[in-house]
Chain A
Amino acid sequence: MNKLAWFYFPARLAWRQLVFDRTKLVAAICGVLFACVLVFMQLGFKDSLYASAASAPVKLDGDLFLMHKQSEAMWRPIQFKRSELMRVLGNPAVAEAYPLYLGLAPFKNIKTRVKRTLMVYGFDPDSLIFNVDEIKSKRVELRLKDTVLFDEYSRPEFGPIRQLLETGQNVTEINDYKVNIVGLFRLGVSFAADGNVVTSDLNFMRIFPKRNHGDIDMGVIRLHPGASIKQVEAELKNQLSEFINIFSYEELLKYEKDYWANTAPIGFIFGFGTVMGWVVGLVIVYQILFTDIANHRNEFATLKAMGYEHSYFIRLVFASAFFLAILGFIPGYLLSLGLYHLAESQMYMPMPMLLSKMITVFMFILSMCVVAGLLAIRKLKDANPADMF
């Protein structure tokens, strides 16, 4: 009872004072809600960026990956010699090694004839290096001349490809080269490319006439079952030219993510936006708590004269901060949920509302309110009964 009363009574008074002035309460909730939505959106965009940046490597089916050391990320690769990749076959643990060709090229919208850049992936269809069922099942068709598969999750600006295919319109141009779309698959857009197309290595050379088989963008290596990836990676590192980076699957994902987080300033921008949301929310909550204490100064001084201790009012201020955090978070969460859905359906960006993100943002909002409370309790000193009566 004693322990309960210690926090219950000031919290109850804080609650009664909060709900007494509805207008001010609504304004206060809006302030917290604003910060909450801002933080949710910034974190959502950031995570979405990382998720989409890694959408292509996530689907790659391999144990080890080679890239040129000068390649900043998969979307802007530097070519290296195919012979360099083939050298890894000398290691007894290596089962297969396949080249992957990458290129950005304009894709002509079949209907509007507007060209927009997308990412073209070229590889041997039999290598099955993309772990996507629609691609695997179309490997026979991909072996034909001038055939491509189109990513259904590409931005709508490329045209309603699914409907067009159903009506038999499947001819378009990539890099001013005429191709047939023979099917669809699902991968997802990234900040680097608005759409994706996969094709065979031979067709890739036709689309990009200046490229040749000998210069590859990535190498995908599969090991024999049971081989230690770490050990083979270390062995290959010594054998390969110093211009080549070798990654395990996880390392490749991290390399791609880190590029967007650090090299591209986008990670910083969203991080900065998150912090700004926190600061703006802090200032709003601080202002609310501060004026609240100023308005209740007389009442607090009265309670002090009745024998209430100073610490009671500190608990009261923190209880107010806590209530504001919760009352602002709930509508903030619901609004963000709606905005996430909007972003997913309208911008084709993956923005899942994860429990971990919910907890992160709530902790963010709570810490914001607690710091605001810490700043505001100084004002309690003004509630001195001797000066008031």
Chain B
Amino acid sequence: MESTALWRQLEQVLDPELDESIVRLGFVTRLDWDGERARVALRLPTYWCSANFAYLMADGVRRALLDLPEVKSVEVAVEDHFAGDELTRGVTAGKGFVEIFPEESEEELEDLRRLFLVKGYLSRLLVLAESFRATGATYETLLSARLADLRIQGDDAWLDSEGRAFGPVRSRVVERYLTRRAELGLPRAPESPLLLQPDGRPIDRARVREEFRRLRATVINIRASTVFCEAVLASRNERTAWERKEAVS
């Protein structure tokens, strides 16, 4: 098996807060593969990034790679991080968060994971809705639409509703929404509404603008955080590359 298969698995691991792949974000600095054992190094935007999120990503890496039958063991190193040693040892040994930090943590991270799955869902929902609105669909169109009205053709996606086709929007936008909707266990039947609240309720027609304003705050928060993290990581990498060069010369 080539290491590209491993990279594909790593693509699936998300930063829970930013709802974006850790590979796209540039957090994976190394992947060594000897045919049995995979060794991965992660470097986060700052030395202080929350240990809980760092754990979710590092453990996500371990699980994603172990899903491949060829992978017998996984070592995940979290570099240049205040809890790097504990995370590296703990995650590689397959320990839970509380087991790694018994003194300082109270509960496993399922609630946190769920919270950010929901935030990511809301963000994907808004992007989907805004993309179709930009092609002429109204809130009313979107609230009346069913999943069956979606049509994906290659890189383009359409919404067939009210006797016309709205689109094209990028099919990735639709797929990201549908993936997360499935992860939250929301209805996937063709006749179910296109847009659903994270708890499965439809969006209240009378309050649709208000609901979308709330979504916007969630999304701009995620986007601003992403920009900030990416920029800070770039600065960090540049700085340490320089320090390493200085140390060598």
Does B bind A? no
